[in-house]
Amino acid sequence: MSQISEKEVGSKPGSYSRRSDYARRVSNRIAQVEAPAAGVLIAIVFALLIANVVTRAMTMPVYWIDELAIYTMIWSAFVGASLCLNKKSHIAVTLLPDMLPARIADVFLAGVNLLLIAFFMVFAHVLWRWFDPVTVMTSESLNAFSQATFNFIYDEPTTTIGMRKIWFWLILPVFCLTGFLHSFANLLDVIARLKRGEG
Amino acid sequence: MLVASSFVGLVLAGLPIAFVLALTAFIYIAATGNFMLLQSYGQQMFGGLENYGLLALPLFILLGEFMNAGGIGRRLMNFALAFLGSVKGGLAYVNLISNMMMASILGSTVAQITIMSRLAVPEMERAGYPRDVSVAITAAGGLLAPIIPPSMLFIIFGVTAQIPIGDLFISGIVPGLMMFGMFIVVIAFLGRRYAFPRSASSSWTERFHALKDALPATLIPILIIGSILGGIATPTEAAAIATLAAIFVGMVIYRELSFADFGPAFVNAARNAAVVLFLIAAAQVFSWVITFENVPAAVATWLQSITTSPVLFLLMLNLLLLCLGMITDPIPALILIVPVFLPVATDVYGIDAYQFGVIVCLNLTLGLLTPPVGTGLFTAALMGEVKAERIAFLIIPFLAAVAVVLLLIVFFPWLATGLKGIVG
C-alpha cells in the first residue's frame, strides 16, 4: 500500500518528479513480479520438504530433494531481499535519523540510498569479473575457459542434483540488477521530496 | 580501525544492517588491498545460505502465517480460559499459558505479541483488567517465544555456531519453564496490587467443549516438540509437518482457513524470511573477511588480560548483550556476536556452546522490550493503544525475572545443558 502514496507524491508536476515517477513505476512493476515469485518459491520449498518426509517414510528417499530445497530457499531469499528494498522493510537502526528534523532525515535517507547504489555497482563489477561473460563467449569451450582463466564458475557441479551450480548462482546478477533499480527509484523519490521542500 | 569506524558510521546513518555488513566487507578488502578476495565474494554470499538447518526458518515463519489465519490461537486461549477463568486474576494466567502454547508453535516474539495482543487484550479489558497491565503481560509473554522451542534465534544460532538445532531446542526447555514459573509469581504479585478480577466459572460441559475444540490445535506443538525430542524428525522436517498439520486443522476441522489465505501466507512468509536470510548471507561474507584480520583472536587476548574466570566473562558478556540488544534487533546482534565471542567462550573459557547460546538468545530478546529500539515494546504499544513508556515501566518486574533466570544459567550451566544429556 505504501507505494501508492509514493506514486501520488511523485506524480506532481516538475521536471524532476517525472523522472522519479518513471523510476518508481519500474521499481513497483518489478516488485509486483517479485512478491508472487518469492511466495511461489517458498511454496515449492514447503512442497519439497513434505515430499522428502513422505518418500522417506515410504523407505524410498529421493536423495536430491534436500539440495534442491536449499537452492530454492536461496532464490526466494534473494528475490525477497530485493523486494524488501522496494517495501523498505530491511532491518536498520533508525535511532539517529528518527531524532532529526524530517528534512535532515531525508538527507540521511538520500545518503543511505546512494550507499546502496554504490554497493550494487561494486557488486555488479565483482559479479562481472566472476561470471566473465565476454571471455566465455570468445572461448572455444567452457573447458578451455576454465583452463585459461583458472575460474571454475562454469564447471562447479551440484552435489546431488546433476546440474551445474551456475544455474543457481544466476540469481545473484538478477538480485544485483533489481536491487539497484529499487534503490535508484528510492533515491529519486527522496531527492524529489527534498526539491519540493526547497521550492 | 577503518573497518570498525565505517561500520559504526553506516549503522548509525540508517543503512540496513545486512547492507552494512556487505559493504563493510568491500571496504575491508579495499583497505587491505586483498583484491583476490573479490573473486569469491559472490560465492561466499550465496554459500552462507547453503545450509540444511536454515530451511527450518522460512518454514516456521510459514507455520506462524497459517496459524494466524486458521483460528488456532483463539482456541488455545479459550481452552485455558475454561479451566482457569475462575481463579483470581485467571485471565492473566490464561494469557501467560496461551503465550506458552503459542511459543511452542511460533518462534518470534514480535509475531507472538501481534497475535496475542489481538486475542488476549480485548478479552482482559472486557473482564475489567486495566488495559495497560494487560498489554504489559502480553508483551512479557512474548519473551517466551525465543526460548521455548521452536525458536528462530536458536535456528540462527545453531547455523552460525554449527551445532545441532534440535539439541539447542532441547536446551531451551528448562530455562523456558523457569521463566514461565517466575512470570506466574510476578502475575500473582501484580494481581494483588491491581486487584485483578475473577471471571465466571465454566461448567464442566463448557470445559469439555473447549477441550474438544482445542485438541486439534494442541496437536501442533506436541507434534513439533515430540518429533524433535524423540529424534524422529529434524527441526526442518518437524516444521514442514507442523505446517501441513496447521493447514489441515485450519481448513478441515476449524474451517476458518481457505485457499484464498494461501497466497498472502506464502508471500508474507517469503518476505519475512528474506530479511533474515539475506542478513545471514551478508554476515557470512563479513565474517569470512574479518577472519583475515583475526578479530576473534585479538578479542580473546584482550579479554584474557581482563579476566580468566568464565563466570566473570559471562557476566561481562551479558552486560554487552544488554546494551547491544537495546539499540538493535536480536537477529543482527546475534549474527555479529557469535562469530567473535563463541570461539573465545568455548576455546578460552571452556564454556558449553549450548549454555552460551541460551544466554545470548535470552538476553538479546530482552532488548525487544526495552527502549529506545524495542520492536516488541512498540508492537505491543501500537496494538494495545497504550503509551510505550507506560508498558516499559510495567514490564520491569518481568524483565527482572528474566535477569534472575539469566544469572541462574550463568552460575548453573546444567540448567541449559542437563536435559540434552538426559534425552540425547
**Which DSSP string do the residues of B13-27 spell out, in sequence order?**
HT--HHHHHHHHHHH
- Which range, of A112-126, A134-148, B401-415, averages the lowest pLDDT? A134-148
C-alpha cell at A100: 532529526
For residue B308, pLDDT beyond 80: yes
Tell me what the mean pLDDT of segment B31-59 comes to: 89
Say if CB A83 and CB A31 are below 8 A apart.
yes
How many Cα atoms are found within 13 Å in the side-chain-facing hemisphere of A91? 25
Q: Which amino acid is at B184?
A: I
Digit-coded pLDDT (tens) for B356-365 = 999 999 999 8
Q: pLDDT > 70: what percent of chain B?
A: 99
Question: Is B49–A80 a contact, with Cβ atoms under 8 angstroms apart?
Answer: no
For residue A188, pLDDT beyond 50: yes
- Which range, of A12-21, B157-166, B168-177, averages the lowest pLDDT? A12-21
For residue B354, pLDDT beyond 80: yes
Q: What is the DSSP letter of B408?
A: H
B140 vs B138: CA distance, rounded Å: 5
Model confidence at A9, pLDDT cuts 50, 70, 90, reads: very low
Phi, psi of B376 (to 5 degrees): -65, -40
Cis (ω within 30 of 0) for the bond into B146? no
Burial B191-205 (b: 16+ CB within 10 A, else e): beeeebeebeebeee
Say if CB B358 and CB B321 are below 8 A apart.
no
The highest-confidence range among A5-9, A49-53, B199-203, B340-344, by mean pLDDT, is A49-53
Question: Is B54–A39 a contact, with Cβ atoms under 8 angstroms apart?
Answer: no
A122 vs B30: CA distance, rounded Å: 11
Tell me what the mean pLDDT of segment A122-140 comes to: 89
pLDDT of residue A15: 56
- Dihedral over alpha carbons A69, B145, B423, A63 (to 10 degrees): 0
C-alpha cell at A132: 566473465
Q: pLDDT > 90: what percent of chain A?
A: 54
Beta-carbon count within 10 A of A87 CB = 17
Q: C-alpha distances in angstroms, B303 versus B96, B128, B317, B336?
A: 40, 52, 11, 17
For an interface test with A, give the residue of B55, B110, B237 to mutate (most A CBs within 10 A). Answer: B55
A114 vs B352: CA distance, rounded Å: 43
Partners of A44 on chain B (C-beta within 8 Å) are none
Beta-carbon count within 10 A of A106 CB = 18
A68 vs A91: CA distance, rounded Å: 28
Q: What is the largest CA-CA distance in chain B?
A: 76
Find, among B82, B3, B94, B2, the residue nearest to B286 by Cα: B3
| Rounded to 5°, angle at Cα B45 from B39 and B51 | 130
Find, among B122, B93, B112, the residue nearest to B190 by Cα: B93
Q: How many CB pairs under 8 A join A and B?
A: 180
Find, among B288, B266, B236, B264, the residue nearest to B107 by Cα: B236
| Total-model pTM | 0.87
Query: What is the average pLDDT score of chain A?
Result: 87
Chain B, window 23-42: residues with a beta carbon less than 8 angstroms from a chain A beta carbon: 23, 26, 38-39, 41-42
Partners of A116 on chain B (C-beta within 8 Å) are 15, 19
- Dihedral over alpha carbons B198, B202, B204, B208 (to 10 degrees): -110
CA distance A161 to chain B (A): 14
B65 vs B81: CA distance, rounded Å: 24
